[in-house]
Amino acid sequence: MLQNNPLLVQLKKTLQSKIRYVEGVVKSTEKDFGFLEINQQKSYFIPPLFMTKVMNGDRIIASIKHEKDRLVAYPEKLIQPFLKRFVGRIEKKNNRLFIMPERPLLKQSIQCKPNMHCMRYPLQEGDWTIAEMLHHPLTGGENFFAEIIELITNEKNDLAPWWITLARYNLERKSPNIDSKTEMLDESLDRKDLTQMPFITIDSAGTEDIDDALYIEDIGNGNLKLIVAIADPTAYISSGSPIDTIAAKRLFTNYLPGLNIAMLPRYLSHDVCSLLPNKRRPVLACQVIISPNGTPDRDIQFFAAWITSKDQLIYNNVSDWLEDPQKSNWKPKDAIISRQVNLLNKLRLSRNQWRQEHALLFKDRPDFRFLLSKKGEVLDIIAEHRRVANRIVEESMILVNICAANLLSDHFGFGIYNVHRGFDPIHREQAATMLVNHGINVNPIEMATLEGFRMLRRQLDAQPNHFLSTRIQRFQLLSEIKTTPGPHFGLGLEMYATWTSPIRKYGDMLNHRLIKAIIKGENGVRPSNSLTRKMSERRRQNRMAERDISDLLYSRFLQKSIDSAKKFSAEVIDISKGGMRVRLQDNGATAFIPAYLIEEEHNDLVFSHVHGHIKNNNIILYRITDIIEIVIIAVRIKTRNIIARLAKNY
């Protein structure tokens, strides 16, 4: 009888009009309650009972009510769920299947069922699977409910962490396995026979997918003629073929610690196309003449050819011999190879000098390689520095990539380009102000030009430390993959397009096809912008997977250092209000030092992420790039966090 009472209807409308609604992201806690985070400064309490209707990371709309002297958020509507497709571990409770998401902040397991069309085998306790969320309490379901769509592996698999990580980023877990003929395509290309020339390859020990070979000769007056021969998978793979379709999906060979997932079938990348020693192979080549000061001649030739590599050299061996022939345990097998290596080193010196004057050089930072047992245990971590032989290959590849960028630009105006435009226009003024405050006078307008960026980088490189170089990175844009030419500020070049790794990068395969079209006088097919966006996203996913596996292996490796009093030298790389993050110099691991472990009276400390330092009574105690000594005090495998404290406080 009271249902349609006008007074009650009016009262209900009045009450509803006073309810305030806000949108935010759910943040769970170690307790049962949580918070609705609106921004960094504002959040609302979510009671335990209502946290059962949401999960950490959900974006929701909540009603805000004033209760007992505080504002409380009550979830009302789901905007974006945190979990859609996710990885998790199977649990069995009371003959029911549940899945525990592989997310550190998610504590509740989710009831689930297998998709009978996808699952061929019964699921067991401990199996790792991929699931999709079917029901969410805020969208009509009583509880969270998921569907299992794929089995990743069981918990006994030694490679389980790798497979789980790859599944998390929706990346392939195995190299492609496809049968295909290995006959060469009829490309109507006239291939030069260079099989008698003493081409050599220089790679890491154990490299099988060899994609570049070098030949050099002294042609008088200090001039050098370099021919860079690149493996030619497009001689076997036609556009739109099954293998090409697979490569277009994968886009890159995925290099993870202890596991490589090839872009192409291994019979192509490791055999048929690989420039193995004493094997006749088709290549795409670039010939360029370099003057004594490192300047390339304008007459640059691209052509198809046959070569036979005469020797497979190893970076460290070549570096040892060039740096100190008397102490080296290795030497070239004959005078011809010896002359090739010495001339390539001469090229390195001249090109390095040219880049110092006309472009920019890379920062010298080592790569870190994990030595793993067959069961995935970390035996050791090796620092691999960029030595003389690495720089020989680096200078040669950069040179011919510049040549390819110019060739594609002149003939088509498109290709697959690596573009980096320097400073973000939004933050350029802020970057200039920061530099001026540290005694580097710069003009924001000049900073936006390639030459202005080069001049600034050289100024910063001349500083006694790399503090300012590190600080300005947060004002810079990320590099992009584009179809049109653009500057690469990071390299200090007008344009840059790679074609030297077609076995490992699909973009390089596309540039091969465009270069071949130029050689034959044909029109090229312009790559789509959607493809380059996909390349950028896949590159990001690959890097995240590599980071996650590295973090896990670092955590496992450093567990043995807990409370051992072993001291590590570390560089401060970031400062936040909670403490500072450091990178161990010996192995590249990152660790966190909480504020309360920096100083006993840590409440007096002022942490500035913006300025990159920690102060006490206006005195800088630590700043980014400082080298400090630390000890490891805790390792949290589940979250892959390494906790440290200062060695002086230990």
CA 290 to the chain's CA centroid: 33
- Residue type for position 54: V
15 pLDDT band, cuts 50/70/90, is very low
Token representation of residue 226: 């370099």
Is residue 607 in some structural domain?
A: yes
Q: Report the domain count for the chain.
A: 5
Is residue 435 in some structural domain?
A: yes
* CATH classification at residue 145: 2.40.50.640
User: Are residues 297 and 341 both part of a single domain?
Assistant: yes
Residue 233's pLDDT is: 96
- pLDDT tens, residue by residue, 162-211: 999 999 999 999 999 887 677 899 999 999 999 999 999 999 998 999 99
Better-scored residue on pLDDT, 117 or 310 = 310
- Decide if pLDDT at 596 tops 80: yes
- pLDDT tens, residue by residue, 248-282: 999 999 999 989 999 999 999 999 999 999 999 99
- Contacts for 116-120 with beta carbons within 8 Å, 24 or more apart? 118/148, 118/149, 118/150, 119/148, 119/149, 119/150, 119/151
User: Are residues 203 and 217 both part of a single domain?
Assistant: yes
Is residue 449 in some structural domain?
A: yes
Environment class of 262 (CB within 10 Å of its CB; exposed 0-12, middle 13-18, buried 19+): buried
- Decide if pLDDT at 570 tops 90: yes
Catalytic-residue membership of 212: yes
**Distance of alpha carbon 308 from alpha carbon 276, whole angstroms:** 8
Q: Which stretch of 118-122, 205-209, 275-279, 370-374 has the lowest confidence by average pLDDT?
A: 118-122
Catalytic-residue membership of 209: yes
User: Are residues 134 and 229 both part of a single domain?
Assistant: no
- Contacts for 90-95 with beta carbons within 8 Å, 24 or more apart? 90/123, 90/124, 90/125, 90/126, 90/127, 90/128, 90/129, 90/148, 91/125, 92/125
Is residue 629 in some structural domain?
A: yes
Concatenated DSSP letters for 370-429? EEE-TTS-EEEEEEE---HHHHHHHHHHHHHHHHHHHHHHHHTS-S-EEEB--B-TTTHH
User: Are residues 74 and 89 both part of a single domain?
Assistant: no
* Residue from 301, 592, 612 nearest 474 by CA: 612
**Distance of alpha carbon 389 from alpha carbon 383, whole angstroms:** 16
What is the overall mean pLDDT for the chain?
91
Residue 18's pLDDT is: 63
For residue 613, report the phi and psi dihedrals to the nearest 5 degrees: -150, 165
Concatenated DSSP letters for 587-615? T--EEEEEGGGT-TTGGGEEEETTTTEEE
Contacts of 49 (CB under 8 A, 6+ apart): none
- Residue type for position 182: T
- pLDDT tens, residue by residue, 343-364: 999 999 999 999 999 999 987 7
User: Are residues 130 and 49 both part of a single domain?
Assistant: no
Question: What distance, in Å, lies between the first and last C-alpha atoms of the chain?
Answer: 75
Is residue 10 in some structural domain?
A: no
Token representation of residue 379: 């035996």
- Decide if pLDDT at 110 tops 60: yes
Per annotation, catalytic residue among 127, 212, 244, 311:
212
User: Are residues 243 and 272 both part of a single domain?
Assistant: yes
Q: Which stretch of 99-108, 451-460, 517-526 has the lowest confidence by average pLDDT?
A: 99-108
* Residue from 528, 525, 537, 559 nearest 642 by CA: 559
Is residue 173 in some structural domain?
A: no
CA 154 to the chain's CA centroid: 28
* CATH classification at residue 631: 2.40.50.140
User: Are residues 532 and 442 both part of a single domain?
Assistant: no
Percentage with pLDDT > 70 across the chain: 96
Is residue 58 in some structural domain?
A: yes
User: Are residues 576 and 530 both part of a single domain?
Assistant: no
- pLDDT tens, residue by residue, 484-502: 999 999 999 999 999 999 9
Burial 473-486 (b: 16+ CB within 10 A, else e): eebbbebbbbbbbb
- pLDDT tens, residue by residue, 516-527: 999 999 999 999
Residues composing the chain? 650
User: Are residues 365 and 427 both part of a single domain?
Assistant: no
Per annotation, catalytic residue among 44, 127, 168, 211:
211
Q: Is the Cβ–Cβ distance between 372 and 258 less than 8 Å? A: yes
Range of the domain at 61: 20-80
User: Are residues 73 and 105 both part of a single domain?
Assistant: no
Among residues 455, 477, 499, the one where a domain terminates is 477
**Distance of alpha carbon 382 from alpha carbon 650, whole angstroms:** 27
- pLDDT tens, residue by residue, 223-255: 999 999 999 999 999 999 999 999 999 999 999
- pLDDT tens, residue by residue, 43-90: 999 999 999 899 999 999 999 998 878 889 999 999 999 999 999 999
**Sign of torsion over alpha carbons 473, 452, 467, 395:** positive
Give counts: helices (H), strands (E), the chain.
14, 31
Concatenated DSSP letters for 128-168? EEEEEEEE-GGGT-SS-EEEEEEEEE-TT-TTHHHHHHHHH
Q: Kindly report the CA angle at 630 between 628 and 631, in degrees rounded to 5? A: 170
- Residue type for position 566: K
Environment class of 621 (CB within 10 Å of its CB; exposed 0-12, middle 13-18, buried 19+): middle
Residue 1's pLDDT is: 46
Per annotation, catalytic residue among 89, 168, 191, 209:
209
Among residues 110, 134, 156, the one where a domain terminates is 156
Better-scored residue on pLDDT, 219 or 140 = 219
Per annotation, catalytic residue among 315, 417, 496, 554:
315
Environment class of 210 (CB within 10 Å of its CB; exposed 0-12, middle 13-18, buried 19+): buried
Catalytic-residue membership of 158: no
Token representation of residue 184: 């060469």
CA 174 to the chain's CA centroid: 19
Catalytic-residue membership of 211: yes
Is residue 482 in some structural domain?
A: no
Residue 15's SS3 state is helix
Per annotation, catalytic residue among 127, 203, 320, 508:
203
7 pLDDT band, cuts 50/70/90, is low
User: Are residues 328 and 396 both part of a single domain?
Assistant: yes
User: Are residues 389 and 311 both part of a single domain?
Assistant: yes
Half-sphere exposure of 172 (CA within 13 A, CB side): 21
- The residues with which 378 forms a beta bridge, in sequence order, are 372
Among residues 525, 549, 573, the one where a domain terminates is 549
